Amino acid sequence: MSLNSALNAAVLGLSAQSTSLSVISGNIANSETTGYKDSTTAFSSLVTNPGSSTQGNSNGVTTTTLTNISTQGLIEADTSATSLAISGDGYFVVTDASGDTFYTRAGDFSSDSEGNLVNSSGYYLMGYELDDDGNPASGTVPTSTAALSTINIENLTGTAEATTEASIVANLPADADVGDDFSVDVEVFDSLGTSHTVTYTYTKTAANEWEVDYSDPVLTSDGATVTGTSSGGPLTITFNSDGELESIEDSGGTDVTDNATLSVTGWTTGASDSTIVTDFGTAGGSDGLQQYASDEEDGDMTLYSVDQDGSNYSEIAEIDISNDGVVSVTYENGVSEPVYQVVLADFTNADGLTAYSDTVYRESNTSGSYVLKTPGDGGTGTIASYSLESSTVDSTTEFSRMIVAQQAYSAAAQVISTTSDMYDTLISSVN
């Protein structure tokens, strides 16, 4: 090996260790960057004259930078429900302001001024809308990122739920006289969230037999203003000799024990007509209406509970993101509903993704094409809310590598210095 070859090898060594130090520096600088994946420098020998036994086997070194994209970072707790971490494989699908698609593990999302979920680097979280039953609003599960939309919570301003079901648990006194009646006020909500009161009146018509009828609804706020027209009654309620509900029949003699229906039409509020099925109990059971002697023989009705499933209009109280990526909102009235599905992109070789600034990646020939999956399905990881994935950088390891790179750089510089001295000696001998 000539002095020139030695000099070239040393210069390549300086360059290689400079590259290594640059990678180490970048890792240390991003030790606190959410979702950052550390890089390493791989060294390999450079043979300039293959097959030669007289020129030396190696005339230098080459380097390759490897990014450990598929490495899982430590999941740490955060204070925001929209801070998301992936435990396992997969990448959030995000877009930049221009609409270009990227993939990332940086889940520090928050709502911007327009209600879009965006991370600290300005990339918007993508998913698809769900209907009230948790199914895709479009009718199909998207398989392409082009079919996804930005997750936005600004438009979810509030909700109201019309009453569709009611239930009453009560004891109608067996010792009441024929003709005695008792009333139960039931609060119901129309489709606009306005509260109304419908009075259910129970009248004893014979031994073990009662009749129930519905009043027209009135505004709950004043108790006097009639707001609609009720129909569906009267109904005949029959009990057996053991005080258990036997049957409920409408005016035509049809058994409606399981589907006694109150209909309200002509709401003065402008709401849609209402159909309310009242659960009076199971035939042969005592889970609803029953008929036994009254307490202390006072001849009075005992009301245990009145429930219904409607609610007034209210604003969003909180947002929840489940481990399978379902974004749900809970309103102040207690109603909760799913609104979006977060999806994860999976790759055959995630380490082959092309890295960009802001800890985002793009698909490449090496990575393979993406496959959209629901978190937790098909080998993808689950999502943890109130959490962030920390950087995979280990500062101790990086400082150790930095010392090695520094020593190797100094050694290569010493080779150059020694080679220079040898050149000086050679030139002096010629003179």
| Domain CATH number, residue 200 | 2.60.98.20
Alpha helix (H) residue ranges in 157-214 = none
Quick check: 27 and 398 in contact, CB under 8 A?
Answer: yes
Q: Say how far apart CA 200 and CA 168 lie, in whole Å.
A: 10
Same domain, 190 and 289: yes
Q: Cα angle at 320 between 318 and 321, to 5 degrees?
A: 155
- Statement: residue 42 has pLDDT above 90: no
Number of domains in the chain: 3
Residues 101 and 139 in one domain: yes
C-alpha distances (whole Å) from 102 to each of 17, 69, 91, 92, 98 are 32, 14, 9, 8, 11
pLDDT of residue 267: 95
Q: Which of 314, 342, 370 finishes a domain?
A: 314
**Of the residues 262, 283, 314, the one at which a domain ends:** 314
Are 58 and 170 contained in the same domain? Answer: no
Assess whether 85 and 226 both reside in one domain. no
At 294 the pLDDT is 85
Is 269 in the same domain as 404?
A: no
Residues 188 and 206 in one domain: yes
**21 SS3 class:** helix
Shared domain for 339 and 423, answered yes or no, is no
Question: Do both 50 and 135 map to the same domain?
Answer: no
Query: Do residue 362 and residue 383 come from a single domain?
Result: yes
Neighbours of 105 (CB within 10 A): 27
List the single range of 141-150, 156-165, 395-404 with lowest mean pLDDT. 156-165
Instruction: Tell me the C-alpha distance between 170 and 160, whole Å.
Output: 28
Give the domain range for residue 363.
75-158+316-389
Lowest mean pLDDT among 163-177, 258-272, 288-302: 288-302
Same domain flag for 320 and 309: no
- Express each pLDDT in 365-402 by its tens digit: 999 999 999 999 988 999 999 999 998 888 888 899 89
**Res. 4 pLDDT band, cuts 50 70 90:** confident
- Cα separation, 34 vs 127, whole angstroms: 21
pTM above 0.75, yes or no: no
> What are the pLDDT digits (tens) for 277-327?
999 999 988 889 999 998 766 778 999 999 998 887 766 778 889 999 999
CB atoms within 10 A of CB 151: 24
Q: Domain check: are 165 and 307 in the same one?
A: yes
Mean pLDDT of the chain: 88
Cis omega (within 30 of 0) on the bond before 234?
Answer: yes
Shared-domain flag, residues 310 and 320: no
